[in-house]
Amino acid sequence: MGPSVMKNQLRKKSKGRFQRLAAVLLLTFGVMSADGMVSNRRAYGCSCIQSESASVERDRVAAVFAGTVSRITSVNNGYEVSFVVSEQWKGETADTIQIQTADNSAACGYNFELGESYLVYAYANDVAANLSDLSVGLCGRTSLVANAEEDIAELNEGSVAPRVEVESDAASGCR
């Protein structure tokens, strides 16, 4: 065998290895893309620091209540959610309360479902807030009533907390 024949055979072997490697890489990339592991979109996440107890969270927020979602209305970059209140631990007494939340969990929005009952820890949106200016985010302790037995027991044990100086949503732990 001459040197030119050997070079041709080496090129063919190298070309075949390269083609196999390229096929494996394309297949791998394709599977990852289909799985959503690789995306050309930017992803932003909601990073939370949740309070250690219901009473600590109660003291941080403007209102704490249990209620059933009666209406969800789309508003600027979010939703206004109306609740029929069944029990209240903090805030002005009301039969219905409206809160605001962002329109997706990446922006720390809470995904409420119509007709479901929630234990809601609501933050005041500004210093002069009242029950018509409350918000809820993913970073608080808000949850379905069915999943909030420990919080409800703790809230029922303690006395109703006096209204504390209102904190902004930045204190909710969302970053």
For 26-57, the three-class secondary structure string (H helix, E strand, C coil) is HHHHHHHHHHCCCCCCCCCCCCCCCCCCHHHH
pLDDT along the chain (175 residues), means of 10: 62 58 45 40 61 90 96 92 96 93 88 97 70 83 96 83 42 46
Q: Does domain 54-172 have CATH number 2.40.50.120?
A: yes
Distance CA 163, CA 127 (A): 13
- Whether the CB-CB separation of 65 and 49 falls below 8 Å is answered with no
Closest CA to 154 of 47, 49, 48, 51: 51
Distance CA 93, CA 115 (A): 21
- Whether the CB-CB separation of 140 and 118 falls below 8 Å is answered with no
Residue 8: predicted pLDDT = 60
